[in-house]
Amino acid sequence: MAYLERTADVRVDPRLFVPDARTVVALAVSYHAGADLIPLRDGLDSGRGMVARYARHEDYHEVLAPRLRQLAEAVDGWGGPGTRTAWHVDAGPVLERDIAEAAGVGFVGKHTNLIGRGLGNWFFLAGLVTTAEIEPDPPARNHCGSCARCLAACPTGAITAPYELDARRCISYLTIELKGSIPEELRPAIGNRLFGCDDCLAACPWNRFAKEARLLAEHRRPDLGTPDLVGLLALDNAAFKMRFAGTPLMRGKRRGVLRNACVVLGNLRDPAALPALERAARDSEPLVAEHARWAIGRIEQAA
C-alpha cells in the first residue's frame, strides 16, 4: 500500500490535485444486492471460497468512470468559463472517507468504514474536485451509540478499539493488498474468505435501512460470489485473466488469488482437495507453492 505514502501530500490538500480548487463533492454509489448476498455461514462445508460483496460485480472503477466524467463536464458547464473539475473513484488521491463524512454522506463507524443512514455499509465512494464554489452540506453526526457489534465480528481482532484498525490483521488487507506471504498465525482465522471480508460491515444494524442498488445491478457477476477452490488452482495465467478480466479479483492477480485459495482449502481440511494442492505445491509461483504446502499440512494433521 505504498501508493498511500506516494500521494500523501495530495490527499491532504486537494488543491494539489486541481489547482485553485474550491469545492470537493462527495458521491456514494450503492452495491447492495439484497438478502441473496448475505455472507455464507455454511461455506466451510461447500468447497468454495467467499468473495466480499463489493467484488461480485464488474470492476466498479470502470463502471463509474463514464458517469463521473459526464458529471464533471456538467459541473464545468454550470460553473462557467474557466471552471476545471476532476473526478475520482476511491483509488484517487483524495481522502474520500473523511470528505464524505464532512459532506454528510455518512459517518465513520467504529469499524473505521463509512456508514450511510440510508445506505448501510454497502456503497462505494467517488467524488469531484472543482474550482467552482458550491455551498457545503452539513457534516454527518455519528450514530454508533453504544453498539460494538463490528468489533466482536472481526475474525482476526483487527479492530483493536472503537475507530482503530490494525490493517496488518485485516482479512481484506491480507487477501487483497498484501502481496507476499500471509502470516501463518492469521491463516486459520481467514476461514473461507477468498477475497476480502464483510464481517464487520455485515454486523452493523444500519444495514436494515439499505436499499437494493440499481446502477450496479446490471453489472453483477453471480459467478464471482463463491468460486470453486479446486477449480481456481487449475487456472494458469491466461485462464485466470480470461475468467477475471474486468473484475476486482484481477487486483489480486493469479498469485494472490491462488495463494488465498490454498489457505481456504487448508481451513476446509477436505482430503479430496489434496491432489489439487499437491499440484499447486509444484507451481512455478513460489507464493502459491508455499501456501499449498501449508494447506496440505493442515489437512494431513486433521486426518
CB neighbour class for 46 (10 Å; exposed up to 12, middle 13-18, buried from 19):
middle
Angle at 141 between CA 163 and CA 133, to 5 degrees: 110
Q: pLDDT tens digits, residue range 126-165?
A: 999 999 999 999 999 999 999 999 999 999 999 999 999 9
- 38 has pLDDT over 50: no
Domain coordinates of the chain in residue numbers?
3-227, 228-303
Residue type for 177, please? E
Per-residue model confidence (pLDDT) at position 223: 92
Residue type for 87, please? W
- 40 has pLDDT over 90: no
Mean pLDDT, rounded, for 275-283: 98
Average pLDDT across the chain, whole number: 92
Q: pLDDT tens digits, residue range 187-208?
A: 999 999 999 999 999 999 999 9
Q: Do residues 29 and 211 touch, judged by C-beta distance below 8 A?
A: no
Mean pLDDT, rounded, for 224-248: 97
Q: Which CATH architecture has domain 228-303?
A: Alpha Horseshoe (1.25)
How far apart CA 195 and CA 239 sit, in angstroms, is 18
Does the active-site annotation cover 236? Answer: no
Cα distance from N-terminal residue to C-terminal residue, the chain? 39
Q: Do residues 155 and 108 touch, judged by C-beta distance below 8 A?
A: no
Mean pLDDT, rounded, for 289-300: 98
Mean pLDDT, rounded, for 230-250: 97
pLDDT confidence bin for 4, thresholds 50/70/90: low
Q: pLDDT tens digits, residue range 255-274?
A: 999 999 999 999 999 999 99
> C-alpha cell of 250?
484481477
CB atoms near residue 281 (< 10 Å): 18
Full-model pTM: 0.92
Residues above pLDDT 70, as percent of the chain? 93
Mean pLDDT, rounded, for 91-109: 91
Closest alpha carbon to 134 in 16, 25, 293: 25
- 41 has pLDDT over 70: no
Catalytic member of 90, 166, 228, 270: 90
Per-residue model confidence (pLDDT) at position 301: 94
